A and B are shown apart, each in its own frame.
Chain A
Amino acid sequence: MSLPDVEAAIQQTLLQVAHPGTWWTGEERVAIAEVARAALSGKESLPNSLPDTAVEAAQAVAEAPDYITRGWIDDLVRRGLPRAAYVEIIGIVSRMSAIDTYAHGTGVDPFDLHHPHDGEPTRHAPDGLVETAWVPTVGQPGAPNALTLVPGEHRAQEELHTVLYLGYGEMADLDAVKDGLHRTEMELVAARTSYRNNCFY
């Protein structure tokens, strides 16, 4: 079975992916999602108009994020991929990973990507950036603000995080229960997922 609140959040996410972002058009964002989905399912990407650096980034974030290094990102930047455009790719790919994992786990068909919407990227960069992580963040970097270089991706991640798991403000509730799953049980799933992904955060 599938959960109505999660299905609604996934449709909202897919709609957001199909709209122009900060650094990529709607068509490019859907293409990034398609590259991610192919990589996550072990398939070859279909031909697309993305720069090679964007395809490389999307595949790496999907397949082997634990082997990404600062030097590798610097090389992408040297080859013409702006750091903020890379962050937007992380946002799209990571949400596709969440969506496809949920579909797989609940036995529903993969959710269809939306048709791209016309329009130009905003190319807006926020103020107050800190350069502690491998990409700039608004404030000292942590899980809640890792994508703040691209505010639209930050908001979209937070919205999906809130529905799939808990809102950042709800995380202080150590006795939370969602659909019968107690917080301790949620954390067991979270810890094992991170362990299998070779991620210690």
Chain B
Amino acid sequence: MLRRSAETTNREAHLRAITDDSVTSGIRGGRQLLAFADALVARDPAAVTTTGAALAGEVGDATAARAAAVCGNFQMMNRILDATGVPVPPGRRDLVAEIGIDPDTFGGAHGF
């Protein structure tokens, strides 16, 4: 969806930035969005405060709050999909190399 949204709206988006911090996503506030998501998933209070303030400084308070909501949504969906064993759609496997994921180690007990 990231690639499709960027292509459809003529925006830059480097997918490898999802897994590689040395790559710039090209997305507005990308570095701050990534750091905020990392802090929320890690449930690190100090990092959430720091990265949330940095993100709000870049995109504004309401947009940062929406980013927290989106992260929350995927915390929910990741748990639902992992816990129910819904199969990974076959087309997603093509993204592995592009994103930089090792299919032999990624996905916990699910893998490919």
> Using a CB–CB distance below 8 Å, which chain A residues touch chain B?
1-3, 6, 40-42, 60-62, 64-70, 73, 87, 90-91, 93-95, 97-102, 104-107, 132-135, 137, 141-143, 146-147, 157, 160-161, 163-165, 171, 174-175, 178-201
Find B84's partner among A66, A147, A175, A193 (CB 8 Å cutoff).
A147
From A180, which residue of chain B is reached at the shortest CB distance?
B63
Closest 6 CB pairs of A and B: A105-B68, A66-B108, A134-B85, A187-B2, A180-B63, A65-B82
Within the complex, what minimum Cβ distance (angstroms) separates A199 from chain B?
A: 4
Contact (A160, B76) CB under 8 Å given A105-B36, A143-B81, A193-B37: yes
> Using a CB–CB distance below 8 Å, which chain B residues touch chain A?
1-2, 4-6, 8-9, 11, 13, 15, 17-19, 25, 27-30, 33-34, 36-38, 40-43, 45, 48-49, 52, 59-89, 92, 99, 101, 106-110, 112
CB-CB under 8 A from B63, the residues of chain A are 179-181
- Name which of A60, A171, A189 has the most chain B CB atoms within 10 A of its CB: A189
CB-CB under 8 A from B67, the residues of chain A are 105, 181, 185-186, 189
CB-CB under 8 A from B66, the residues of chain A are 3, 178-181, 186
- Per the bound structure, the CA–CA distance linking A73 and B88 in Å amounts to 19
Provide a sorted-by-A list of 9 A–B residue pairs whose CB atoms are within 8 angstroms. Answer: A95-B76, A101-B40, A179-B63, A180-B63, A184-B6, A185-B33, A186-B70, A189-B37, A198-B106
Contact B79 A189 (CB under 8 A): no
Within the complex, what minimum Cβ distance (angstroms) separates A5 from chain B?
A: 9
Within the complex, what minimum Cβ distance (angstroms) separates A146 from chain B?
A: 5
Contacts A101-B71, A189-B37 given; 16 further ones with Cβ under 8 A? A1-B61, A1-B65, A41-B43, A69-B109, A90-B80, A94-B83, A98-B76, A105-B65, A141-B86, A147-B84, A165-B70, A174-B1, A185-B29, A187-B1, A189-B67, A194-B78
Within the complex, what minimum Cβ distance (angstroms) separates B20 from chain A?
A: 10
Contact B101 A200 (CB under 8 A): yes
Q: Looking at chain A's contact residues, is the secondary structure mostly helix, strand, loop, or mixed?
A: helix
Within the complex, what minimum Cβ distance (angstroms) separates B23 from chain A?
A: 12
CB-CB under 8 A from B81, the residues of chain A are 143, 146, 199, 201
Contact B40 A87 (CB under 8 A): no
Contact (A191, B18) CB under 8 Å given A98-B73, A201-B81: yes
CB-CB under 8 A from B84, the residues of chain A are 87, 90, 133-135, 137, 141, 146-147
